[in-house]
Amino acid sequence: MIENLLLGFQAAFTVTNLMFIAAGITLGIVIGAIPGLGSVTAMAVLIPITFYMSPISAIAFLVGVNKGGTSGGAVPAILLNSPGTPEAAAAALDGYPMAKRGESRRALKFALFSSVTGDTISDLLLIVLVVPFAAIALQFGPLEYTSILLFSFALLSGISSGSTVKALIAIFLGVFLASIGLDPVDSSQRMTFGEINLYDGLSLAAVAIGSLAMASVLQELIDMRFGPQPAGPAKAETAPEAEARSGLKTALPIGEFFSHWKTIIRSALIGSGVGMLPGLGVTLAAFLSYGATRRASKTPQSFGTGNPEGIIATEAANSAVVGSNLVPTIALGVPGNIAAALLIGAFIIHGIVPGPFMLTMHGDVIYALFASMLMANVVHLAIGRVGIQIWGWFATLPKGLVLPPVFVMCIVGVYLPTQSLFDIWVMLAFAVLGLVMRRGGFPVVCLVIGFLLGDMFETSLRQSLLLYQSDFTVIVESPIALVFLALTGFVLIRAARRA
């Protein structure tokens, strides 16, 4: 393996590749940082460019875009409380309070360092685990997925500091909304009212960007118009000035960052674990890790008020998914998420047949891909570091100048992937719903995650019911399902006791 990896480095370590990686990461960060556009949009837009590259360069470039896009999403979440993608939503919970305190650069550094560390850990796991993984993955059928998703819902209900019941209501409202569209079993339409745009259900981008990013832009605009006007020129105080005035440091010594090593490793492992199971996705990893870190913390009440551990938990976990997501992609030919599916599309175009024989048939390219991923992490750190200076400058712009373009970008971001005007109306409707939910103390992120996982939850549940003919005793035969269901019960009972 080491020998293969060295050969991979030999093939991938060229100036051209480094340049493509750097270009990919830069474009990824920029696109990911635009509210409304995430790594998936970035990859979809940039894949045609790769037609003109060699396979290794093309894949290195796309890996860069994916890494940059995933970490770039944290930028608007931290600076504007307006996460461009659901996967960065958890970064806003503590990042934005930090930025408001004037520690925006520190928050961005925490985010970048965690992304790169989490990503590196996950890449190493990918290289080591890709071969033995295939056998384990096949153990996960619909029953196991159903129990994992139930366990996730239980954990997520404890994420916000508010009431568990309100969080559960928000989650299952999301699951309900996900059931709009074609029934997964007999393909009849549900709640579509004959509207063809609803046959596939509501679009995730529209729901997520509307209720998360757009709602917070609207909230800010309302506050600017009707909220208490800050006295005089104090409003124009820029973040660096605030930093200078309050005497807060912008520096983040590497030693201080690594003093959070427990959180870093826990989050990277959660992210890698979630990433290895196809379909669960980046957002779930981020929130599970955020929840786990809060649970493990000695001061859980400090989360949501600007605790850097919250940023580390989110960013280390969501970036860790990027690497480990390729485990099922390479071991089984099953893409772990949309980004991996796009990567598979690029593989096919460049003559690499995805599937369980990818490693034996195209080992040279795969190991060059691994090498490129490790190289990309170093490049990512360097480029991200420069980027922070630029984002810091953006943070100094007055809100009145930043919010209108963000508003427009949200609309563009929703329109781009499917080019549907209907989705824009859906997004605006969810922006209003998001505002109402915030007022009522319902966690909006729970709605989004419920929606995100709802389809998978329903499908797995109904697959299990069909497969085992509604015989519940089969749960006993599956140790994986048994463990996760027991954990679900434990988490819920503990939450009920505390309330």
Structure tokens at 299: 């001061």
Cβ(115)–Cβ(453) below 8 Å: no
382 part of the interface to another protein, by CB under 8 A = no
- Which residue in the set 244, 348, 421, 486 belongs to the binding site for another protein (CB under 8 A)? 348
- Name the residue among 38, 87, 67 with its Cα closest to residue 287: 87
- Distance, in Å, from the CA atom of 413 to the CA atom of 347, rounded to the nearest integer, reads 26
Please report where in the chains the tokens 């790769």 appear, as a residue. Answer: 50
Strand partners for 189 = 182
- Name the residue among 13, 1, 67, 2 with its Cα closest to residue 368: 13
Cβ(495)–Cβ(168) below 8 Å: no
- Which residue in the set 227, 418, 440, 490 belongs to the binding site for another protein (CB under 8 A)? 418
Binding mask 212-251 for another protein (x = CB under 8 A): ----------------------------------------
Q: How far apart are the first and last CA of the chain?
A: 51
Count of alpha carbons within 13 angstroms of residue 220, beta-carbon side:
19
6 part of the interface to another protein, by CB under 8 A = no
Beta carbon nearer to another protein, 142 or 210: 142
Residue 190 backbone phi and psi in degrees, to 5: -125, 130
CB of 217 to another protein, least distance (A): 22
Residues 31-50 that bind another protein (CB under 8 A): 44, 47-48
Task: Give the number of other Cβ atoms within 10 Å of residue 360's Cβ.
Answer: 8
- Which residue in the set 74, 268, 352, 445 belongs to the binding site for another protein (CB under 8 A)? 352
Binding mask 156-185 for another protein (x = CB under 8 A): --------------------------x-xx
CB of 295 to another protein, least distance (A): 32
- What is the identity of the amino acid at 163? S
CB of 73 to another protein, least distance (A): 19
419 part of the interface to another protein, by CB under 8 A = yes
Residues 117-156 that bind another protein (CB under 8 A): 137-142
Instruction: Name the percent of the chain in helix, strand, coil, to the closest 5.
Output: 75, 0, 20
**Letter string b/e over residues 402-429, b meaning 16 or more CB atoms within 10 A of that residue's CB:** bbeebbebbbebbbbbeeeeebbebbbe
- Name the residue among 475, 461, 477 with its Cα closest to residue 178: 461
- Distance, in Å, from the CA atom of 445 to the CA atom of 181, rounded to the nearest integer, reads 22
Residues 440-499 that bind another protein (CB under 8 A): 459, 462-463, 466-467, 469
Cβ(103)–Cβ(245) below 8 Å: no
Binding mask 299-338 for another protein (x = CB under 8 A): ---------------------------------xxxx--x
CB of 389 to another protein, least distance (A): 6
Beta carbon nearer to another protein, 9 or 199: 199
421 part of the interface to another protein, by CB under 8 A = no
- Which residue in the set 2, 3, 15, 186 belongs to the binding site for another protein (CB under 8 A)? 186
Task: Report how many residues bind another protein under the rule CB under 8 A.
Answer: 53
CB of 201 to another protein, least distance (A): 9
- Which residue in the set 357, 421, 471, 490 belongs to the binding site for another protein (CB under 8 A)? 357
CB of 361 to another protein, least distance (A): 9
CB of 383 to another protein, least distance (A): 14
Q: Which distant-in-sequence residues (6+ apart) come within 8 Å of 365 by Cβ?
A: 55, 56, 59, 352
408 part of the interface to another protein, by CB under 8 A = no
* Contacting residues toward another protein, per CB under 8 A: 44, 47-48, 51, 137-142, 182, 184-187, 189, 194, 196-197, 199-200, 278, 332-335, 338, 341-342, 344-345, 348-349, 351-357, 389-390, 393, 417-420, 459, 462-463, 466-467, 469
